[in-house]
A and B are shown apart, each in its own frame.
Chain A
Amino acid sequence: MEIKKELTGNKLKISLEGRLDAVSAGDLDKVIQNDLNGIDELTFDFAALDFVASAGLRVLLVAQKRMNKQGTMKIFHVNEDVMDVLEMTGFSNFLDIVD
């Protein structure tokens, strides 16, 4: 999976491409742990994301919990398959998913 980061002031945009599975979730976890200091607006672009595994959901949960304390987090361009997973697991109720 590829992780692209765009930092504009206090705004961080993370674009994901490929599969967010148990292996790549570790990489994204590192980004979340290290790059969110001082960020008050975090956006994810899921346009090129094909798949999310439970380990990936965990990272999204970590990110959401962190952003709940310091700002906002939004997810853009979620495709159908990923959306299914998010809905099935109930994550769609907690995440700010923008069409």
Chain B
Amino acid sequence: MNEKIYSLWFLKKGSIRNRVFRLILLGSMTILVVMGLLVAYGLYTMDSVFMTQSDQLTVTSAGYIENVTSQQITGRLTDVAQTRALAIETELSGITNDTNYLAYGVESVIKNPEYFAERSLPDPRFQKIRPGEVYIHRGAKLQASGVSPSLRHEIGIMSNALSYIAPMAKQYNQFESSIFIGSKNGYIIAADNAPGKEYINMTEEFLTTYEPTERGWYKNTKERGTITFNDIYVGADGYPSFTCSAPYEDNDGFAGVVAIACSVKSISDILDNSLMGKSGISFVLSDKGKIMLSTNHEGLMNDVDGKDLQKDSSDSLGDAVEKMMSGASGWQIVEMDGQNYFLAYAPMKKLKWSFGTIIAINEVMTPVQTARQHIVDQVGSFKDMMNSQMVKFALVAIISIWSALVMLFNITSWLTNRFVEPIKELTDGVREIAAGNLEKKIAIPTRDELETLANAFNNMTDKLQNYMSNLTRVTMEKEHIATELAVATNIQESMLPHTFPFAPEHTEFDIYATMQAAKEVGGDFYDFYMVDDEHLLVTIADVSGKGVPAALFMVIAKTMLKNSVLSMEGERDLAAIMARTNDQLCQNNDAMMFVTAFMGILNLTTGKFNYINAGHNPPVLYKANENRFDFMPVARNFVMGGMDNIEYKSQELTLCKGDRLVLYTDGVTEALNYSKELFGEERLLDTLNKTTKSENSAQKLLLKLEQVLKNYVGHAEQSDDITMLALVYNGHEMA
């Protein structure tokens, strides 16, 4: 688990500084990134919501304007259509009444010729006609066939219609207009108005070829047998002209047609005033689907060639025309020459005609389109502004985040350093302490675990210092003791006879001795001295224990023994000496120290060797005649100093020439090798027996033994004092 955690980069092993640095940096960066993501998300949401909302705003507001505008336009168009239809019908109904009245007047003349006298009217062929003046004109056929007397009478009677025509002509004298009667017999009685002119201008062609019974208005009216509005034409004054005609009868039936042709400026004005916009067209449609009147004099909706709108027009227009012909009112969109128009229409009920007015949707909607474009532009520029603000914000955000990161990096670095600084201080302090400056005190006042650690270090340093001073003191004491011990060793060594060869004037013997203390001072000792000229005394002893106490006891024992020997008079009784020394040693021996000792006295002349063994290891004796070393027979006396009032038994033997004595302490036989095995008495005898003849001096013998012993012990620690003494008896040569 731990390995897994440490494999994460921010916990990877490294200095604490780096790990803390990485942790803090990671934490802060996580917060920063999360906040950044939140801001980015907020911005994104805001942006997308704004974009959809602004698009929707454009669509809805533009649509709303379009709706309102088209509603207003169509409403107005419909109003216009209705009011204008009414106005035009009112205007036209006046002419209709006049025409009816004229027909009635003419009939009252022609049906009652007995009430009227013949009268004559001017003929334009022979005189100029003034506006409003009633004249008679004979048609082309009548001119060719000539006038019969009965017809002359009829014309004379019919001329009385003047009293109906003249007032009517006066009524219309503000417009270019004609009021006329066309007889089936080929003449017309008429009055023309031409405002501002003195005479009526009549072309030669008119005067010679005009045949009333051949004209459309005559034929139409005769055919329909009722009051009729004929095709519209544009009069000389540039205004549309209507011809409203009605048939009249004599007593035999159909006799002719009366008509009022008039260019009615008011209707033109009505139409013109009804126009909306540049593309606007107003028109009047007959119940047959023909355009009777139009503000357009060319194109599809012209009023010149009396087009049948139902025939050649688009589906939508055809549909609208059908509705108009059925007397409906309303509005709809129609297509004309590839362009869409609003068309509003209203019926003229009496005439069964319909009034229509159109306007191009384009024109109506151009402001709407402009407004829409304006909104789109506004929203677009707002979007652009928003976008550029977003970009600016993003730039600012990136710069801020970058600066924040740089700051974060520095702050983290600073914080980490601040955190790690005390550790470095501590490390430096510890290094200085380790280098030996125990006076160094580490001061880290951070009031945390580090301060505790520093205090612990200071505490440790104090203890170390104490310990060091103690150690120094102890070492000094030890050194002092060692020095004293060295002196003691020196003294001890100098107490033992150590000048060799000893008494070289005595050729009877050769003596050598060594002592190696296990500690600085030992508990073993040897001694030899000439008691008198012919007696040599040898001693070897081993005090129980080792070191200073043993050494002290050894000094006492050695001194007492020697004193006892030297103070003895006469025959030297070793047993008595031993017993006396033992008693002396036992006095005040609270430590219960004791000493094993072997002491012998050799008569150099006779070779007699008197000896006593107080609990010591039996010495080895070399008998020259037997040529071998063997242990000396020793009586078992108790050690010295152990108990008082003890009797010791001495023994005696005689040494021959070449005999040798080896005295030793248990340090020899009990020397241990690495395997804790004793050197032993067997090995001692064996070693001595293996010595060559050349090693026959006391010194060589001991050196050999020492060498073997050293090899045996090897590097094992010396466990006890090793003391050896060798004595070679050369015999007494008689002088």
Contact A91 B670 (CB under 8 A): no
Given A53-B720, A88-B618, A88-B636, are A61 and B666 also a contact pair (CB < 8 Å)?
no
Q: Which A residues are CB-close (under 8 A) to B634?
A: 88
Q: How far, in Å, is B35 (CB) from chain A's closest CB?
A: 77
Q: Which partner residue on chain A sits nearest B542 by CB separation?
A: A54
Contact B642 A54 (CB under 8 A): no
B333 interface residue, CB < 8 Å from A? no
Q: Dominant SS at the B interface?
A: loop
Contact B546 A55 (CB under 8 A): yes
Given A21-B719, A53-B670, A61-B642, are A88 and B615 also a contact pair (CB < 8 Å)?
yes
Best-buried of B544, B638, B719 by chain A (most CB within 10 Å): B544
The total of chain A residues at the interface (CB under 8 A) is: 21
Q: Which B residues are CB-close (under 8 A) to A25?
A: 545
Contact B638 A90 (CB under 8 A): yes
Contact B544 A58 (CB under 8 A): yes
Contact A89 B638 (CB under 8 A): yes
Q: Considering the complex, which residues of chain A in the window 32-85 have a beta carbon less than 8 Å from any beta carbon of chain B?
A: 51, 53-55, 57-58, 61-62, 65
A22 interface residue, CB < 8 Å from B? yes
B639 interface residue, CB < 8 Å from A? yes
Contact A91 B545 (CB under 8 A): no
Best-buried of A21, A61, A91 by chain B (most CB within 10 Å): A61
Q: Which B residues are CB-close (under 8 A) to A94?
A: 638, 642-643
Contact B592 A61 (CB under 8 A): yes
Q: Mark B147-189, 1 if CB is under 8 A from A, else 0.
A: 0000000000000000000000000000000000000000000
Q: How far, in Å, is A84 (CB) from chain B's closest CB?
A: 9
Given A25-B545, A54-B543, are A90 and B720 also a contact pair (CB < 8 Å)?
no
Report the separation of the CA atoms of residues A65 and B594 in the bound assembly, to the nearest whole angstrom: 13
Contact B615 A58 (CB under 8 A): no
Report the separation of the CA atoms of residues A51 and B670 in the bound assembly, to the nearest whole angstrom: 9
B617 interface residue, CB < 8 Å from A? yes
Q: Mark B611-628, 1 if CB is under 8 A from A, else 0.
A: 000111110000000000
Q: Which A residues are CB-close (under 8 A) to B615?
A: 88-91
Report the separation of the CA atoms of residues A58 and B615 in the bound assembly, to the nearest whole angstrom: 12
A8 interface residue, CB < 8 Å from B? no
Report the separation of the CA atoms of residues A40 and B586 in the bound assembly, to the nearest whole angstrom: 25
Given A54-B542, A58-B594, A62-B592, are A91 and B678 also a contact pair (CB < 8 Å)?
no
Q: Which B residues are CB-close (under 8 A) to A89?
A: 596, 615-616, 638-639
Q: How far, in Å, is B33 (CB) from chain A's closest CB?
A: 73
Q: Which A residues are CB-close (under 8 A) to B684?
A: none
Contact B592 A58 (CB under 8 A): yes
Report the separation of the CA atoms of residues A57 and B321 in the bound assembly, to the nearest whole angstrom: 157
A-B contact pairs, 24 of them (CB 8 A): A51-B670, A51-B678, A53-B666, A53-B670, A54-B523, A54-B596, A54-B666, A55-B544, A57-B594, A57-B639, A61-B642, A61-B643, A88-B615, A88-B618, A89-B616, A90-B614, A90-B636, A90-B637, A90-B639, A91-B639, A92-B636, A93-B636, A93-B638, A94-B642
3 nearest interchain CB pairs? A90-B638, A89-B615, A58-B544
Binding site for B on A (CB under 8 A): 19, 21-22, 25, 51, 53-55, 57-58, 61-62, 65, 87-94
